[in-house]
Structure 1
Amino acid sequence: MTLSRRNVLKIGGAAAALPLLGHKAFSQTEPLKVGFIYIGTINDNGWNYAHNQGRLYMEQELGDAVESVFVENVAEGPDCERVMRELVQAGCKLIFATSFGYGDYVIKIAQQFPDVKFEHATGYQRSENVATYNARFYEGRAVCGTLAGHLSKTGKAGYIGSFPIPEVVMGINAFVLAARKVNPEFTITPVYISTWNDPAREADAARAMIDQGIDVIAQHTDGPAALQVAEERGIVGGFGQGADMSAFAPKAQLTSIIDNWGPHYAATAKAVIDGTWESKDSWPGLKEGEVVIGDYNESIPDDVVAAAEAVKNGQIDGSMHIFTGPINDHTGAEKVAAGVTLTDADLLSMDWYVEGVIPPA
């Protein structure tokens, strides 16, 4: 099936549905058709790859009760509106829009098709037939920051960001807060490249950082380009983003933040089938298994792995929250008082840097 002259794949349901599906789903005369739109390619080995793995998980879990289509390389702009309309016309009754910049267009299209359910990844706008979902990536950043604090020889990290939106700022802040618990002099320098996936620009940014004495690089972009540069240049390393990227940088990847979208996609499709779907916001993390810390590089000392695991497990059992004060902003002024934990609303509107961040010029 071809939509919009793009690479679109139609996948039939798995051979058999699992028991969690329930009787009502089996009584359907037709499968639920689910559409996905991706900002990049499913072969980016990061963000879009992880979402597509989630789509495949949904197919496996729900079997013949669902079928799915996806559209790759859909830009954040008016084009995504057209693609969503075409997915509706192709029979999709549930559409997942998997990039932040799709938000306004999701709301617009949803108003025109009230019988279709829409879910917007990393979004904040909801309506009667639009829900939002995200993952607490910042929890994974705290684990990565702990590793960086222990392993960096220069005490300087770089962070390749896409756009300075709260989701990205939150990750930068979580990373450096964790690193400074190990090394109070640790700093991080973010660079924004104004795109989610541009391997050449990501690689250039990584080279420039390394030339400036940075020996650990984190990222909130979609592919492994920065890690590949870290591998080539022999610095301490970096982190897989969205998926395990160790195949591209076996020495440089210290660990990875893996986005596990599959359970959300399966549960959402099942809710639509059962008639129990609701417009709401979903924001799970390490505890729920939507954020997963990948294998640690075998070169990391055992005591450093133990420290990272303590941060991971503390966030899972609730004994720690990386955004509990005292926290100063990058000027040194107190932003969060001792013992106070930022609320989700505070995090989702975060537009300031913590101490240790060297803001972009």
Structure 2
Amino acid sequence: MQRRSILKGGAALGFATMMGGKLAFAQGLEKVKAGFVYVGPIGDGGWTFQHDQGRLAMMEALGDKVETVFQENVPEGADAERVLTQMALSGCNIIFTTSFGYMDATNAVAAKFPDIKFEHATGYKRDTPNVSTYNARFYEGRAVMGTIAGLMTKSNKIGYIGSFPIPEVIQGINSSYIHAKKVNPDVTISVVWAYTWFDPAKEADAAKALIEQDVDVILQHTDSTAPLAEAAKTPGVIGFGQASDMAEYKPSPRVSAIIDNWAPYYTERVQALLDGTYAQKDTWAGIGGGEVKIGDITDAVPADVKAKAEAVRDSIASGAYHPFTGPLNKQDGSAWLKEGEVADDGTLAGMMFYVEGVTGDIPS
């Protein structure tokens, strides 16, 4: 197909060179137009809100060297391909697709627009040289939240609201349970699947169902504040901010949070286009790299519990501790990790099994 020029103001795209299978650009751009595709509304208070905060921070950092466009509430599927095509035709130099379910659409459209860079959040497919992937080690934050959960539950029952049964969510369930169990051998975990990223009504129903099972600590892998709002109706039930701080529910039921910090990555990638140093890559950073932050642990958490949670956070950040360190068995009791053995990234990225002690099946 005809290669397209997409730069404004007469700026010319530098020639591309292939180095080690990665696309590097020999000449920078005078200005970048960046597009963002969001699975939910920017006001969801969670996942999409935090991605949009990253976009705004990137704009502030780069000033008039960057222009952005975004579209919210884009369903994962065929409609995403249409939206991405429109963004590509509108003159974007780089497009960030911010949900796992955009993976196939991102790669399909990228193949049609080789001069445009595509960045897919939480995916693993890079079918063409102009597709990069980026993710965050959310399971590291779950280790901290799980520690708090295990120490603060009175019923010894914690709950987890899952969105979809994908490796990222399974990692979170396992990490939460492992670390709750480390500090409380009597703890159990119940998983309710909402089958949505953002649906406040479904998320609230899931939280209510868990509370009716005597769960008094709720973790979520969905995007709205509805689970915290539901928790607030029952004294003694606590939860955590997901993706963003959700500070409006402090000091309880929101006692801490996993905060996704996308601003540095967005700024870095657009700056690389401006500098002419952009290259294809796969990024998976965590607490140590600053992409995962632990929100304020409130005074509703006893001082000794807070200290233990912060110790877990700091040991992960320094690299001294990995949340998936053996001995660990799989749910069926078969050996997985030996004493001191650490899970490799390939296993984690494809994780579709529960660890020993988690009940229930992973939906197919």
Q: Normalising by the residue count of structure 2, what TM-score does the alignment of the two structures yield?
A: 0.90
* 1:245-284 equivalence runs, <5 A: 245-248=246-249, 250-284=251-285
CA contact (8 A) 2:103 2:120 kept: yes
What is the match of residue 21 of structure 1? none
> Match of 2:192, SS?
strand
Counterparts in 2 of 1:148-163, with a 5 A limit?
A: 148-163=149-164
1:186 is the counterpart of 2:153:
no
Q: How many angstroms apart in 1 are the aligned matches of 2:279 and 2:192? A: 38
Quote the offset at 1:94 in angstroms: 0.2
Name the SS of the counterpart of 1:299 in structure 2: coil
2:17 match: none
Q: Is this contact kept in 2: 1:227–1:249, CA < 8 A?
A: no
CA distance in 2, matches of 1:108, 1:235: 48
Deviations 1:65-120 (A, max 9, x none): 10100000000011111111111111101000000000001100000000000000
Q: Which residue of 2 aligns with 1:214?
A: 215
Which runs of 5 or more structure 1 residues have no equivalent in the other structure? 1-23
Deviations 1:27-62 (A, max 9, x none): 82xx21000000000000000000000001110111
What do residues 284-319 of structure 1 show as CA deviations (whole Å, max 9, x unaligned)?
110011100000121111110000000000001111
Q: CA RMSD in A?
A: 1.3
Partner-residue secondary structure (3-state), 1:81: helix
Corresponding residue number in structure 1 for 2:112:
112
Q: Which residue number in structure 1 is paired with residue 79 of structure 2? A: 79
- 1:337 Cα deviation from its structure 2 partner: 1.3
Residues 135-150 of structure 1 aligned to structure 2 (within 5 Å): 135-150=136-151
SS of the counterpart of 1:86? helix
Amino acid at match of 2:72: E
Pairwise CA distance, 1:196: 0.4
**Cα distance in 1, alignment partners of residues 183 and 51 from structure 2:** 33
Give 1:128's aligned residue: 129
- Partner of residue 94, structure 1: 94
What is the CA-CA distance between 1:194 and the residue it aligns to? 1.1
Letter in 1 for 2:63: G
Q: Please state how far the C-alpha of 1:157 moved relative to its aligned partner.
A: 0.8
Q: In the aligned structure 2, how far is the partner of 1:97 from the partner of 1:180?
A: 36
Length-normalised TM-score, structure 1: 0.90
Tell me, yes or no, if the aligned pair for 1:242 and 1:258 is still in contact at 8 Å: yes
Q: Is the 8 A contact 1:191 1:360 kept in 2?
A: no
The yes-or-no answer on 1:200 pairing with 2:185 is: no
Q: CA deviation at 1:359?
A: 1.9
> In the aligned structure 2, how far is the partner of 1:36 from the partner of 1:280?
18
Unaligned runs of 5+ in 2: 1-26
Deviation at 1:191, TM superposition (A): 1.3
**Cα gap change, 1:360 to 1:235, in 2 (>3 Å):** farther
Count of residue pairs brought into register by the alignment: 335
2:192, 2:210 within 8 Å by CA — same for their partners in 1? no
Q: CA offset at residue 360 of structure 1?
A: 4.5
SS in 2 for 1:247: helix
Measured after TM superposition, the shift of residue 184 of structure 1 is 1.5
Name 1:313's counterpart in structure 2.
314
Looking at structure 2, the residues matched to 356 and 60 of structure 1 have their Cα atoms a distance apart, in angstroms, of 47
CA contact (8 A) 2:34 2:93 kept: yes
Instruction: Please give the secondary structure, in 2, of the residue aligned with 1:352.
Output: coil
Change (3 A) 1:78 1:72: same
Give the residue type in structure 2 aligned to 1:215: D
* Change in CA separation of 1:360 and 1:203 when aligned onto 2, cut-off 3 Å: farther
Specify the alignment match of 1:233 in structure 2: 234
Deviation of the 1:185 alpha carbon: 2.2
- Between the aligned partners of 1:250 and 1:277, the Cα distance in structure 2 is 42
Check the 8 A contact 2:251/2:299 in 1, yes or no: no
| Equivalence map 1:49-60=2 (5 Å) | 49-60=49-60
- Asked whether 1:336 is paired with 2:341, we answer no
Given that 1:146 and 1:308 are in contact with CA atoms closer than 8 Å, whether structure 2 keeps it comes out as: yes
Please tell me the residue identity of whatever aligns with 1:51.
H
Counterpart of 1:158, as a letter, is G
**Alignment map for 1:4-83 (pairs within 5 Å):** 28=30, 31-83=31-83
Report if aligned partners of 1:216, 1:236 keep a CA contact under 8 Å in 2: yes
Other-structure match for 2:349: 348
Alpha-carbon separation, structure 2, partners of 1:359 and 1:130: 36
Name the SS for the 2:69 alignment partner: strand
Q: Structure 1: how far apart are the matches of 2:236 and 2:336?
A: 33
Could you say which residue in structure 1 is the equivalent of 2:165?
A: 164
Alignment-derived partner of residue 9 in structure 2: none
The equivalent residue for 1:18 is none
Cα deviation, 1:166-193, whole Å, max 9, x if unaligned, reads 0000011001111111012211111111
Distance 1:360 1:34 in 2: 41
Shift of 1:246: 2.5
1:137-181 superposed Cα distances (whole Å, 9 cap, x missing partner): 000000000001110011111100111100000011001111111
Mapped partners of 2:212, 2:218: distance in 1: 12
Q: Is the 8 A contact 2:251 2:300 kept in 1?
A: no
Q: Which amino acid aligns with 1:134?
A: N
Is the 1:159–1:172 contact (alpha carbons within 8 Å) kept by the matching residues of 2?
yes
**1: distance between equivalents of 2:48 and 2:121?**
12
